[in-house]
Structure 1
Amino acid sequence: MHFYKKLSPFYNLALLYFIVSFILRIVLLFHPITQSSFTFTESLKIFSFGLLSDFFVFTIASVFLWLYLIFISNSKYNAPYGYIILASFVALLIYTASGKSIFDEYGGALPKIVLIFVSLKTLLFSFFLFLPKHRNKIRFWLFAFVIFLYVLLILQNAISEFFFWNEFGVKYNFIAVNYLIYTNEVIGNIMQSYPVVPIFSALFLITGAITYFIIKKSRNYIDEIPSFNEKLKISALYAVLSITSLLAIPGLAKTQNSKNIFVNELQSNGIYKFYLAFQNNKLDYFKFYKTIPNEKAFAILKHELPSISGKNTIREIKEDSIEQHKNVVLITIESLSADFMKMYGNKQNITPFLDSLAQKSLLFTNVYAAGNRTVRGLEAVTLCLPPTAGESVVKREDNKNKFSTGSVFLKKGYNVKFMYGGDAFFDNMQDFYSGNGYQIIDKSNFSENEVTFSNVWGVCDEDMYNKAIKVMNSEAKENRPFFNHIMTVSNHRPFTYPNNKIDIPGNIKSRDGGVKYTDYALKQFFKQAEKQSWFKNTVFVIVADHCASSAGKTELPLDKYRIPALIYTPDRKPEKYTKLMSQIDIMPTLFGLLNFDYESKFFGQDVFKTDYQPRAFIATYQDLGLIKDNVLTILSPKQQIKQFKLKLNNTIGISPEFQIHYDEIPLKAENNDLVNQTISYYQSASYVLKEKEYQFKDLADRNKKLYANVRN
């Protein structure tokens, strides 16, 4: 038999992987979210470099297949070797089951996983040793199972990549890594969003059929087990290809340098992208990004925040008027892109209440979200600092006792609460907010009769608002003002909500329906609030946490970060603020409107102050952007810097202050002042977090007083 036939399990599975990846790229290329056209050269690059990436990634991923196949033999069951090996397996099994193995020192699920694996290996080896007549049959079905598993993983990965693209417009990234942590919500979301049973039924049938044909073409490996010399050749070949792959994969990743982000994403291999995201979930700014001396960074920052001194952002905020200790309700709305609203050009009439409320409010027309995830939005309105590299502060271990929106209200004697219709454990919200002086109201605080509808993310927005009204009515009797931060959930896939509320049924799972129901629920909240004694003494702040999608042709597409924001105060005249501003400026601006005197550490500013210089921060977990003077500056890992001139792509019929589309044109010559300002913001924010300069020192004592008041 020719030697190449001994490689049949490898090349048959590889061929399947290449075909599936090729088809997936075509599907994603023509997906509606892929808002781009491609030149012939770009298409050639996508498929040729993509195939190379797939080849090298498959080589590395087939290491388990190589390990399994290389140890298939009959000689190891001959006496006395078979009994010695079995005795070794039994000893290892006793060791792992003892509860005192090295694996137990690591804790978690690892000891159980190792115990199950060793148990199966011991059991299977016993079958092969003591049932020689059935050895070939057992080996065949074990071989079939391994091939089936590889086929299933290849197809399952393609389906997962498709649905991830469908949601985010990119291959696997940081979000996919996070999804591994919150399996209950994520699996529940998938179950409620997609026809899972039909999909997986079809998946298993197709997997079975493909496995049948691959086994038919590859079973010669187990029918005529390779000799020792042949296995050495296979191992040598695999070793060479593996080493080559380990060197080639990062090199190919560097060729993903197109100005069109869709080209880079389609060219990339999803599995390797997942690996990179897993590796980069923690990014030390000072290790990966362009830096300047800290003294210089804070000196530049002083031009933006004139009253700071030294390497911190501490400054005194003084107002000329008497403080107004009004109640404050902050509502961060899930995934509310600016272009869902009529004023930004939407013609579907899916936010009629917000559209009308905006005409009665202080409306900020030119606001950009700090990031593309809920935790970034929560971080922006709570900590009011630029989004630093890696994971949001909300999800970091060192996330407590920070200077925050809540700490300012606490110092003014407010009751401070965070309200969420789901489980606050998700995205570490419980740990973050409770660790920063907030009392938590989440799904666990709802009685059965308070829940009329829920999905995997939690109770519907109406139920959350009804609960909020009850809580605020109770707070109003305590003779002290309240600050309540409400996070909505209904405008999120699977987009299910109570039927017969709006003209889009809740069971059709439509994005427009999710937005319109969110708007409807907000209207019902205001209807109830208007009837309460505390209403006229309350300020309502409404802002999106992030946009519905972050996919675009560039690293940071501006229209995917533009969000609506408004402050509604009963009996206050409506007003528009049209200058550029950041999500982190919303709460400092509110404090200015309330005439609060306080010591601030915020990077966010009161945009009505004369020294405010319009700018906005937008970021992913690794690309950190500053919009200023009609230029977008982006800092990326490996000390990379990009700058783009922003050219308005005018939409006919939309007022100038509501235009959101810009072409990002690479600057031919670097603007050093803006580069240094961008570095200054992000480096100083990273510094104060790292050096614990962003702490609220007496929060622990205030927490005790707060909870004592709550109990009383």
Structure 2
Amino acid sequence: MDVIKKYLLSPFKNDWKLLLCLSIPALLLGAFGLNQLGRLTTANLLALEGVKLACEFLFLGALLSLLHLLGVKNKWVLAAVAFVYYLTMTADLILLWYFKERFGAKYLNTMEGGDYDFLKDWRVISYFLVLAAFCIFAAKRYFQKSTRKTAISRLAVCLLGLALLYTANPLKLLPRPDNFYTSYLVPPSIVYTVNAVLAKRPQAHQEESLSAPLKELAQEYNVFSAKNTPAGKKYTRVILIASESLSNKYLHRVNGKIPPQASAPLDNLMTAYPSASLQHVTLSTLYGLTVIFTSHPYAQLAYENGYPVSFVKELKKQGFHTAFLRGANETYMDENILFKQAGFDEVIGATYFETRPEYKEYIDWWGLTDRQLFKYAGEYLQEHQKEPLFMTLLTVDSHVPLGRLDYLGQEYEEIDAEFYNIPTLPRAFARFGQDVERFLADLNKRGLFDENTLILVTADHPSYSNTPTNKLFKPYQADFDNLPFIIITKTPIKAPLADNKLISQLDIAPTVLDLLQAEPPSGFFGHSLFDTSARRSIFDIKEDYAVVTTEKENRVFPLNSPDEKDKALIHLMTTFLVK
């Protein structure tokens, strides 16, 4: 006992209160993360918080020791370091809030070009002030200077403790997949972020044929086997509308707390035409659109390798002119370059609209208003009405966190309900529905909605953050986060759609080609929604792990898993079949 006191406890004699105090935010983050990941049970919470506290306490102890060894003994400097540390944790919180993922390498390059006006919001400023006050309180109340000898001893104990936690994490004893999710939330935010940046990434495999083991695995998960049905015809005008962040929870037909009049335009379309509720497999725009275009779950590898598979390329081979129109800046994240690699002849966005006087005045916030984007789309379709045309429209007014703040004088039918007279996502989606209704009327007026026209309405990805409209989404339902998918034609298609919980974004590309009677490439992971008998698998690739779901299993594993079954699945998910 004396040895434990002397070598393990005594180095913390003056600092244990400070370290406990500074560990509290991480415990809150851990509890919030469990809730966001759908794993908040009493057993998981108690297990995670115990290990999280030990990990955070030891990590902060190591940082404190390093500061002492560097000669930093000023309380204000310590408070400033703590504040910067908690900013990293805040990034973790925001990603868990909006995307149910942690902050990592995937999101670092999304920061450039973002709209940071929200930093001026009084709520954000208040949060930073509270955070700063907490850091100052902890430093002034509990910080004490340590000798060099104490700092060295404390550093040694902290590093030893962290090594033991790393090699013998008790959370791994929990049942699957709780063992993964709880362990996933343990590393301090800064450690997780650095590790995500430095981690070795899986590489793409472009194959013309599959090896015997991979072919067997592909058959087991029924991928690379899309086929057409008799549902389609040779449409010559195809319009894919991808609404920013739309999910089922904003539709009255799914969520009864949404006022009927708020989502009536979309609900009416889903009643009149074939529609489906798709599982999402991505959580950001570039990734969502890439999966839609490729029917391949590994979006990052797809766009980093020039889109080895893309239904847009297939349409281009069929003689379609292909155009991508968006309200936001087309150069964001080099998407003007990437989407041309995906097969688009033209990528048009806010940079172009700024050169057009009639549109320039409607550019604000993230970009051109949706109504004006639809207006331009009608003009573009009119100009190209004599040639086969595929167009993707990506809207922007419903961008998180609150949707467009200022509609620049454009009037909408107002919804007399709570949350609809101020900027909120429910209001933004109500107005999106009105814009879609107006767009369809405009196509009719121009004579462009005929028997050769196919219009698809869906979303790039869902949004998870419900602030400040939480009560509209309680009690939570699993299908709230699914994506609507509507197939609009002059004469509604009568063929049934698959009624399967595993239909997903992966099925959009094969559905489009099926509707056009164009042969699907061999590299699709999904199946046409009109193929009602197809077995489906969902491959949801996160920042550094994957979730594979079939009718028989739900498998969660890190992308660097040593398990042989996991490694085989990773090989399958990184394979682009290009024969």
Q: Is the TM-score greater than 0.5?
A: yes
Q: What is the CA distance between 1:411 and its match in structure 2?
A: 0.9
**Cross-structure match for 1:494:** 401
C-alpha separation in 1, matches of 2:561 and 2:130 = 47
1:18 corresponds to which of 16, 23, 31: 23
After superposition, the C-alpha distances for 1:159-189 in whole angstroms (9 at most, x for unaligned) are 444444433456x344xx3333232445627
Q: Does 1:604 align with 2:532?
A: no
1:450 corresponds to which of 350, 359, 364: 359
After superposition, the C-alpha distances for 1:281-313 in whole angstroms (9 at most, x for unaligned) are 723599xxxxxx93122145358879xxxxxx5
- Match runs of 1:105-120 below 5 Å: none
After superposition, the C-alpha distances for 1:92-138 in whole angstroms (9 at most, x for unaligned) are xxxxxxxxxxxxxxxxxxxxxxxxxxxxxxxxxxxxxxxxxxxxxxx
- Matched AA of 1:518: F
Percent of residue pairs identical = 16
Q: Which has the higher helix share?
A: 1
- Matched AA of 2:59: V
**Is contact 1:144–1:211 with CA below 8 Å preserved after alignment?**
yes
**Cross-structure match for 2:469:** none
2:196 corresponds to which of 247, 266, 277: 277
After superposition, the C-alpha distances for 1:427-454 in whole angstroms (9 at most, x for unaligned) are 4422321223312111111135414555
Q: What is the CA distance between 1:265 and its match in structure 2?
A: 6.5
C-alpha separation in 2, matches of 1:168 and 1:609 = 30
Q: What is the CA distance between 1:327 and its match in structure 2?
A: 0.8
**Is contact 1:417–1:483 with CA below 8 Å preserved after alignment?**
yes
Distance 1:61 1:431, change over 3 A: farther
C-alpha separation in 2, matches of 1:680 and 1:213 = 53
**Cross-structure match for 1:404:** 310
C-alpha separation in 2, matches of 1:330 and 1:7 = 61
**Cross-structure match for 1:65:** 67
1:585 corresponds to which of 507, 510, 526: 507
Distance 1:252 1:432, change over 3 A: same
C-alpha separation in 1, matches of 2:290 and 2:184 = 28
- Matched AA of 1:363: S
- Matched AA of 1:533: G
Distance 1:266 1:256, change over 3 A: farther
Q: What is the CA distance between 1:245 and its match in structure 2?
A: 2.2
- Matched AA of 1:613: R
The DSSP-based 3-state class of the residue aligned with 1:595 is coil
- Matched AA of 2:22: Y
Structure ID, larger Rg: 1
The DSSP-based 3-state class of the residue aligned with 1:584 is helix
- Matched AA of 2:197: F
TM-score in terms of structure 2 length? 0.78
Q: What is the CA distance between 1:483 and its match in structure 2?
A: 0.7
TM-score in terms of structure 1 length? 0.65
- Matched AA of 2:48: I
- Matched AA of 2:388: P
Name which of structure 1's ranges 534-543 and 54-63 shifts more when overlaid on structure 2: 54-63
2:264 corresponds to which of 352, 358, 379: 352
Q: Does 1:542 align with 2:464?
A: no
Q: What is the CA distance between 1:475 and its match in structure 2?
A: 2.2
**Is contact 1:192–1:494 with CA below 8 Å preserved after alignment?**
no
- Matched AA of 1:568: I
C-alpha separation in 2, matches of 1:626 and 1:564 = 21
2:49 corresponds to which of 27, 47, 63: 47
**Cross-structure match for 2:301:** 393
**Cross-structure match for 1:341:** 251
Report which structure shows greater RCO (CA 8 Å, sep ≥6): 2
**Cross-structure match for 1:82:** none
The DSSP-based 3-state class of the residue aligned with 1:463 is helix
1:508 corresponds to which of 417, 422, 430: 422
- Matched AA of 1:543: T
- Match runs of 1:219-298 below 5 Å: 231=148, 234-249=151-166, 251-252=168-169, 254-255=171-172, 257=174, 259=177, 269-280=188-199, 282-284=201-203, 294-298=211-215
- Matched AA of 1:459: L
Q: What is the CA distance between 1:606 and its match in structure 2?
A: 3.1
**Cross-structure match for 1:188:** 116
Q: What is the CA distance between 1:60 and its match in structure 2?
A: 4.1
1:429 corresponds to which of 320, 326, 335: 335
**Cross-structure match for 2:535:** 613
2:83 corresponds to which of 152, 169, 180: 152
**Is contact 1:549–1:560 with CA below 8 Å preserved after alignment?**
no
C-alpha separation in 1, matches of 2:39 and 2:533 = 40
The DSSP-based 3-state class of the residue aligned with 1:508 is coil
C-alpha separation in 1, matches of 2:394 and 2:280 = 15
Q: Does 1:567 align with 2:487?
A: yes
Q: What is the CA distance between 1:341 and its match in structure 2?
A: 2.5
Q: What is the CA distance between 1:416 and its match in structure 2?
A: 0.8
Q: Does 1:520 align with 2:434?
A: yes
Name which of structure 1's ranges 190-199 and 482-491 shifts more when overlaid on structure 2: 190-199
- Match runs of 1:664-679 below 5 Å: none
- Matched AA of 1:469: G
- Matched AA of 2:293: T
**Is contact 1:369–1:617 with CA below 8 Å preserved after alignment?**
no
**Cross-structure match for 1:657:** none
C-alpha separation in 2, matches of 1:583 and 1:203 = 39
- Matched AA of 1:567: I
Distance 1:684 1:558, change over 3 A: farther
- Match runs of 1:27-42 below 5 Å: 28=32, 38-39=41-42, 41-42=43-44
- Matched AA of 2:433: D
Distance 1:244 1:613, change over 3 A: closer
**Cross-structure match for 2:574:** 686
5+ residue gaps, structure 1: 73-139, 287-292, 307-312, 552-556, 642-674, 696-712
**Cross-structure match for 1:668:** none
Q: What is the CA distance between 1:410 and its match in structure 2?
A: 0.9
Aligned pair count reads: 542
**Cross-structure match for 1:179:** 107
After superposition, the C-alpha distances for 1:242-276 in whole angstroms (9 at most, x for unaligned) are 24424434643854846558766666643443344
**Is contact 1:297–1:679 with CA below 8 Å preserved after alignment?**
no
Q: What is the CA distance between 1:616 and its match in structure 2?
A: 4.0
**Is contact 1:371–1:619 with CA below 8 Å preserved after alignment?**
yes
5+ residue gaps, structure 2: 1-5, 467-476
**Is contact 2:559–2:570 with CA below 8 Å preserved after alignment?**
no
- Matched AA of 2:301: V
The DSSP-based 3-state class of the residue aligned with 2:275 is strand
**Is contact 1:13–1:151 with CA below 8 Å preserved after alignment?**
no
C-alpha separation in 2, matches of 1:475 and 1:338 = 33
**Cross-structure match for 2:237:** 327
C-alpha separation in 2, matches of 1:611 and 1:160 = 43
Distance 1:437 1:211, change over 3 A: same
The DSSP-based 3-state class of the residue aligned with 2:575 is helix
**Is contact 2:18–2:139 with CA below 8 Å preserved after alignment?**
no
C-alpha separation in 2, matches of 1:424 and 1:573 = 34
Distance 1:145 1:437, change over 3 A: same
**Cross-structure match for 1:84:** none
Distance 1:237 1:340, change over 3 A: closer
The DSSP-based 3-state class of the residue aligned with 1:413 is coil
Q: Does 1:474 align with 2:383?
A: yes
**Cross-structure match for 1:86:** none
C-alpha separation in 1, matches of 2:66 and 2:515 = 62
C-alpha separation in 2, matches of 1:508 and 1:432 = 36
**Superposition CA RMSD, Å:** 4.2
Q: Does 1:364 align with 2:276?
A: yes
**Is contact 1:17–1:154 with CA below 8 Å preserved after alignment?**
no
